[in-house]
Structure 1
Amino acid sequence: MVNFSLEGKVALVTGAAYGIGLAIAQAYAEAGAKIVFNCSRQETVDRGLKAYKELGIEAKGYLCDVTDEEAVKAMVADIEATVGTIDILVNNAGIIKRIPMEQMSVEDFRRVVDVDLIAPYICAKAVIPGMIKKGHGKIINICSMMSELGRETVSAYAAAKGGLKMLTRNICSEYGEHNIQCNGIGPGYIATEQTAPLRERQADGSRHPFDQFIISKTPAARWGTPEDLMGPAVFLASDASDFVNGHVLYVDGGILAYIGKQPK
């Protein structure tokens, strides 16, 4: 049987105080990894530490803005000095701004690209030297269906996530010879705090129109959960994926494979 254990590995999961990042970090801890995470606000770091404690997981949290290269370098140096060389990096931190393109400011567009594309580049750049020295490493970028598709109001997000898919492939191309695997996970529509407003019931008790839209477009006929990403994340961080590189694994309930039901 191939080895899915992460025993003794050091995993840095960015923005992992809740939601998808927390679920991935929990899965890694259950597989034996040491967990480190960061958030850009102290109250969010504290929230994450509380969540890990309630799960019985020992985790180290950092206050760090992943768009700040010097701050990321300092965080990685401290992790390497106090916990160990980072074996697994999950670029999970991200934002989305749902604004029609003609109404979106350049500043808002840049902010989304900074967090969703530039920050993963900064974090990968910071951990790769240690991975090269150690002779192995896993980098997992949280991409999106918007790495493949477009949709109204998410031009900045789609541009950033499309770029992240190509960054994933380029890291594979450039550092594969050092036994570093860089892959992506492309979540479908996941039931998290971020998407809660899109799933709220209407005053009459009916489903939100967007909720109905997603259910109709997803062969699985449901929203995903953060737990749906745990297995894929462990696979891509483990020895079982040592010959998988430059790939984006879409965990979307089949939505990318589906054009919808034929009208009756």
Structure 2
Amino acid sequence: MEPISFKDLKGKVCVITGGSGVIGSEMVKAMASVGVKIAVGGSSPASAEKAAAKLAAEFDTKIIGVEANVLDKASLEKANEIIREKLGPIDILINCAGGNNPGATTKVEEMTEENMDKLEDTFYGLDLNGFDKVFDLNFKGTILPSMVFTKDMLKNKKGVILNVSSMNAYKPLTKIPAYSAAKASINNFTEWLAVHFAKIGIRVNGVAPGFFITSQNRFLVMDEKTGNFSPRGQKIVNNTPMGKFGDPQDLQGATLFLISDISGFITGITIPVDGGYNAFGGV
């Protein structure tokens, strides 16, 4: 028996939506380190190409940027043609595009007697248009790429889809009901699609990142004046058994494991990468 490795990934072609973001970039680095050829998809061609060029300079593999609007099937079809022409048939799809919307976020964590006179700051002030945007980006933005970028997998009767979920899917955070519900839909869809594709050789799994300090959330979880955690940031650490925030690099191992043939008999699961957050009941 040969030693276990990720050498089966060398030369395979992956398209990753949202690949220029913090999480997406770490996934790209992990795949590039084992020789995967990668198309970094983004709604902005300039940012996708810039991210791809920066990553390509670090690794000895081909990485391209391509415009791929996850809510525009025509855009995805065009991207599919470009990727097949420049890199070859697609073997792996990572659905990493996602995000929240201010209109679907409450200003307070809980309703109390003190804030009942400002209903606009509570559940009652949520904007359904904001919900639409969040569900479109996260849920439909996973469905459409899965429809377009898997056609080569059908022909080859082999391939992998990896969806990016969130801790919010398991334990919804206060203030962000739409994002939490949208990510829960990703977990459910991962299971549904895994069953649907199981007999034709396409595996479908997910990763659920825990809490990482990034440029997007730093102002929420850190106190700029003191350099300490904000009250919300401290809550997260207190409820993470490992007692710390994760690093986006912590996703690399789970990513390679789930897209490799090493996990060839695994489909329909979502792995939390969360320092034990999901396992902790708070006491």
| Counterpart residue type for residue 60 of structure 1 | I
Aligned to 1:130: 152
Aligned to 1:103: 125
Aligned to 1:37: 40
- Measure, in 1, the Cα distance between the counterparts of 2:93 and 2:124: 35
1:38–1:64 CA contact under 8 A, matched in 2: yes
1:3–1:239 CA contact under 8 A, matched in 2: no
Runs of 4+ in 1 over 3 A off after TM superposition: none
Q: Is residue 2:27 matched to residue 1:27?
A: no
Distance 1:58 1:196, change over 3 A: farther
Q: Which stretch has the larger CA shift, 30-39 or 126-135?
A: 126-135
- Measure, in 1, the Cα distance between the counterparts of 2:56 and 2:78: 25
1:89–1:140 CA contact under 8 A, matched in 2: yes
Give the superposition deviation at 1:22.
0.5
3-state secondary structure, aligned to 1:117? helix
2:53–2:63 CA contact under 8 A, matched in 1: no
For structure 1, list consecutive stretches of 5 or more residues without a partner in the other structure: none
Aligned to 1:186: 208
Aligned to 2:111: none
Give the superposition deviation at 1:3.
4.0
Matches within 5 A, 1:1-264: 1-5=3-7, 6-56=9-59, 58-97=62-101, 99-100=105-106, 101-261=123-283
3-state secondary structure, aligned to 2:149? helix
Larger radius of gyration between Structure 1 and Structure 2: 2
Give the superposition deviation at 1:55.
2.2
Distance 1:24 1:131, change over 3 A: same
Q: Which stretch has the larger CA shift, 46-55 or 149-158?
A: 46-55
Q: Which stretch has the larger CA shift, 1-10 or 45-54?
A: 45-54
Question: What root-mean-square deviation, in Å, do the aligned CA atoms of Structure 1 and Structure 2 show?
Answer: 1.6
2:67–2:75 CA contact under 8 A, matched in 1: no
- Measure, in 1, the Cα distance between the counterparts of 2:94 and 2:52: 18
Deviations 1:62-84 (A, max 9, x none): 12211111111221122123311
For structure 2, list consecutive stretches of 5 or more residues without a partner in the other structure: 107-122
- Measure, in 2, the Cα distance between the counterparts of 1:186 and 1:239: 20
- Measure, in 2, the Cα distance between the counterparts of 1:78 and 1:131: 17
3-state secondary structure, aligned to 1:65? coil
- Measure, in 1, the Cα distance between the counterparts of 2:21 and 2:239: 27
- Measure, in 2, the Cα distance between the counterparts of 1:128 and 1:105: 34
Give the superposition deviation at 1:202.
4.4
2:6–2:262 CA contact under 8 A, matched in 1: yes
- Measure, in 2, the Cα distance between the counterparts of 1:127 and 1:183: 16
- Measure, in 1, the Cα distance between the counterparts of 2:163 and 2:149: 13
Q: Which stretch has the larger CA shift, 185-194 or 222-231?
A: 185-194
Q: Which stretch has the larger CA shift, 92-101 or 163-172?
A: 92-101
1:137–1:179 CA contact under 8 A, matched in 2: yes
Size of the alignment, in residue pairs?
261
Distance 1:128 1:49, change over 3 A: closer
- Measure, in 1, the Cα distance between the counterparts of 2:142 and 2:99: 13
3-state secondary structure, aligned to 2:163? strand
Distance 1:237 1:204, change over 3 A: closer
What is the TM-score normalised by the length of structure 1? Answer: 0.93
| Counterpart residue type for residue 62 of structure 1 | V
The one of the two structures with greater contact order (alpha-carbon pairs below 8 A, sep at least 6) is: 1
Give the superposition deviation at 1:178.
1.1
Q: Identical aligned pairs, as a percentage?
A: 29
